[in-house]
Structure 1
């Protein structure tokens, strides 16, 4: 099949149509930019589904130093303190930027932002839109702004498959569209592709989000960071539907409690109870389920009669499941929700590969550490998009235009899901991780539709094997305590494959990892 070759003439390219990608494109204006989205804007981005909102110190009793303190505490010793400081201090201005772009945030009668409380926050600092419709409203405003900006060329229905690298730097993007393979020649690429929820059976994310950005970066030789830290949301609606409907932490912030089938609040003696950090609540719920109990969210007293008005999306999901929250307990279980790890970047979004930037969930800035503080992720995407755009605009295109002619199949994560769901769940162990690594390596080497998801899964598994401790969202039963020194992890695809091969030849030796 012939490849369509398009020289972008020095124009940078953004891969991904969620909040991070849209904001980066808007901040680049009036510099021409191409934004590539595999589906119509807003159709399958995780950003649209975000309920919790954006965290920023906007209240009279709050300040960025308190927000920073809460962020570092939730990150369990692994945050990059300087990155976290810069991001949370920039957060209030970023919220105002969104408001100027037309985002209709919830406000009080005196037109101040209405602020919500979520787990591990010491103040009410979560900005919402339409109750639990925050992501949808932010995306609505950003899509409208992008479509009305002449310098942004949006290409929809085309999916990136591989990054071309020439002389050690980015030279273009191989993509697949309705008419076949396309090569976009450019020396500046921004990854804004979202997360990895599609690699897990139980997830609150779109099933199509299966780590495509991580695969693109990994094959280009980029360094990836903190991949082992995968956040499981403790309150997904327990039912047969996939993806699983999320029940926002904001519901607990308004007084909902977690109980078992006997009505007992088994988190009552935990510091912070239902509003403890997510990793603690998720493990407690997981263990209670494993002990044979059922677990529920009880909203009958708090938020009580205000539930449907405050959380219309969640109320609708409950109604579709035949649950009346005013009368019934809501069955819950943990589900994969957010990836703290990603492509290693600095605060300008630069990766280890010249000409490649990353922003949003696909990037690892160091803000989240081992356990993301609730509602910091959309804030991070909005704040960092400006810095990424400034860095891209200030960087030369880099030349290099040799077309890469490979045509790769669309990723299919189905063979990988059971392996990662078992090995990389709420609670892990070395034997399970080693078994997954040995199973993933041949899937990667088949060079078919399962290979890219298998490559992403393998890198994460190797990162989890290397971290021989429990910290934040990474809990190993064979290493249940903190290591003496907290260190962020780094890994490349080449190193992960080498480790997996060594493990396959010496299955009894974890020390080879």
Structure 2
């Protein structure tokens, strides 16, 4: 695969690709993409391109809830403080303040749209999760918060008067620029017709989510291969803090079962972690079971060397377990575990990317015409470790801000003649790779889990870099989804390795056993851009 190319596959703009024009193009149909589209639909015609069906992303899988300072004894100031503390010294203070202060109005808008959160005696029911000092996490249908939010947003988007069109089964391959170097659209693979298409727009919003599928164990759905991040990188966008991956402490760890998330809300309600001897091991850790996620994940990882680690939810009582965590209860029962009666085996799994496409407070990237929000974006709001249940709020708040910014100056509507011609105009040919893409994907995931996972060191990172570089040099994707995904996964895995090698300290989701301490000289954001020979740093 050509490391210098601006495109994942070669293509020729002179070919007869179908060309579509829309005012605003939104890439992704999770909470950030849908909320941005809704907030723009009063002014513009919007098209959403989504990789699979509209419900296939991370949002639908979110269990625990959405953190917001709406409870009587809470305030945005408390929420601000908890977020800063969890972020391990790397949070952008302005971004956190906006998140905490604008969060309530965005959640209230979400409720007006139709999201129905759980209530107790006709008042919103708040729970507590790790590293929160107050009960501020709203939930829906017990442990199906993301699904309820996605349902409400999808219903609003699909309203016949919404000015929003949704195109499913579209793989966005690359961003397109005009002759002034402004992002003006995308090259997309229409999987319904098995054809390349060009989509042009005044502005493009990247809301493509995370990259959990780079790792062997992840709570993320199959679509999360980081395609939007990789496309932005090829186009020249800066990526920030790519070394900071959050590993959720408690995913179901059972042979033959997926890494199904066991919500942190279970520990918030009182569930306890037990080692292989049936003993608690978090009692001497500040915060105990509700310490920040990176700390709990490493404690569990250490205990797993001696045997299986369990989460005991049964102490909550059968009625509460079934009412508060119906989805988790049902799923575990399918694998032979009644969590209301016995502990469930758990282990860490890749969950969230704190890094992403570098954006300012308004969601603007370094590329004119390109905006980003949600998990694929990074403005420093989560620092080195995201506070539990802040991800859904992040998607709402900064999507609404992106929408307001675009309304100020959406940019011109481009024409095909405006497009910058690719340097490599070779027509796309069927390419036969000498190695099996599926085999490489499995090996890539194993490499990332073993050497770029919860505990890292220089030796392992260098081995990972060598192995991944070898695969990248040998592999070139053809025009099918699995190969396009692998091309993106190879690019992003190497960027994570490069960023992790450069940061010689431990902080939040990045832990180096050869540099186990946090060092104030590293209290800065890493930035990497296509063509850079090394990682550079910017002040927090």
**What TM-score do the two structures reach when normalised by structure 2?**
0.88
Q: What is residue 163 of structure 1 aligned with on the other side?
A: 175
Other-structure match for 1:507: none
Distance 1:272 1:333 in 2: 19
Task: Tell me if the contact between 1:105 and 1:127 (Cα under 8 Å) persists in the aligned partners.
Answer: yes
Q: Answer yes or no: is 1:19 the counterpart of 2:58.
A: no
| Match of residue 8 from structure 2 | none
How far does the alpha carbon of each residue in 1:447-467 deviate from its partner, in whole angstroms, 9 at most, with x for none?
222322100111111111111
1:154-202 CA deviation, whole Å, 9 max, x = no partner?
1111110011123322132000013210011224111111111111110
1:231 CA displacement: 0.5
Distance 2:367 2:430 in 1: 24
1:298 lines up with 2:312 in the alignment: yes
2:528 corresponding residue in structure 1: 491
CA distance 1:474–1:3, change in 2 (3 Å): farther
Q: Is the 8 A contact 1:5 1:403 kept in 2?
A: no
Deviation at 1:3, TM superposition (A): 4.4
Which residue number in structure 2 is paired with residue 212 of structure 1?
227
**C-alpha distance in 1 between matches for 2:181 and 2:442:** 33
Q: CA deviation at 1:483?
A: 1.4
Report if the CA contact (8 A) 1:78-1:369 is conserved. yes
Could you tell me which of 225, 233, 237 is aligned with 1:222? 237
Distance 2:390 2:70 in 1: 14
Q: State the Cα RMSD in Å.
A: 1.9
1:464 aligns with 2:475: no
Is this contact kept in 1: 2:177–2:419, CA < 8 A?
no
Cα separation, 1, equivalents of 2:361 and 2:172:
24
Question: Equivalent of 2:448, from 420, 436, 457?
Answer: 420
Instruction: Quote the offset at 1:77 in angstroms.
Output: 0.2
1:98 aligns with one of 92, 110, 115: 110
Q: Distance in 1 between matches of 2:45 and 2:278?
A: 58
Partner of 2:88: 76
Aligned residues of 1:146 and 1:152 also touching (Cα < 8 A): yes
Following the alignment from structure 1 to structure 2, what is the Cα–Cα distance between the partners of residues 409 and 140?
40
The alignment status of 1:286 with 2:273, answered yes or no, reads: no
- In the TM superposition, what is the alpha-carbon distance from 1:352 to its structure 2 partner? 0.8
Which of these residues, 403, 419, 422, is aligned with residue 401 of structure 1?
419
* Aligned 8 A contact 2:252 2:258 in 1: no
CA contact (8 A) 2:317 2:340 kept: no
Q: Which secondary structure state, in structure 2, belongs to the residue aligned with residue 493 of structure 1?
A: coil
In the alignment, the residues of structure 2 paired with residue 113 and residue 426 of structure 1 have an alpha-carbon distance, to the nearest angstrom, of 36
- Contact kept, 8 Å, 1:51 with 1:134, in 2: the verdict is yes
CA contact (8 A) 1:76 1:472 kept: yes
Structure 1 residues 314 and 408: CA distance shift in structure 2, 3 A: farther
The match for 2:252 is 237
Secondary structure in 1 aligned to 2:316? Answer: coil
Answer yes or no: is 1:5 the counterpart of 2:5: no
**Pair 1:197-2:212 in alignment:** yes
Query: Is 1:3–1:182's contact at 8 Å kept on the other side of the alignment?
Result: no
TM-score normalised to structure 1 length: 0.93
Distance 1:272 1:304, change over 3 A: farther
Mapped contact 2:177–2:420 kept (Cα < 8 A)? no
Unaligned stretches of 5+ residues in structure 2: 1-10, 432-436, 478-482, 536-540
1:59 corresponds in structure 2 to 71
Q: Distance in 2 between matches of 1:454 and 1:317?
A: 32
Which shifted more, 298-307 or 81-90? 298-307
CA distance in 2, matches of 1:431, 1:119: 33
More off after superposition, 416-425 vs 201-210 = 416-425
Q: Using the alignment, how far apart are the partners of 1:296 and 1:271 within structure 2?
A: 20
CA distance in structure 2 between the partners assigned to 1:162 and 1:370 by the alignment: 28
Pairs within 5 Å for 1:434-445: 434-445=462-473
Answer yes or no: is the 8 Å Cα contact 2:51–2:223 preserved in 1.
no
CA distance in 1, matches of 2:366, 2:269: 43
Confirm whether residue 33 of structure 1 aligns to residue 81 of structure 2: no
Q: Secondary structure at the match of 1:58?
A: coil
| Aligned residue among 142, 149, 153 for 2:153 | 142
After the TM superposition, which of the residue ranges 295-304 and 449-458 deviates more from structure 2?
295-304
Q: Does 1:130 align with 2:145?
A: no
Q: How far apart are 1:326 and its partner, in Å?
A: 2.3
Matched, 1:391 2:402: no
The residue number in structure 2 matching 1:503 is: none
Counterparts of 1:407 and 1:426, CA distance in 2: 39
Match of 1:120 among 109, 117, 131: 131
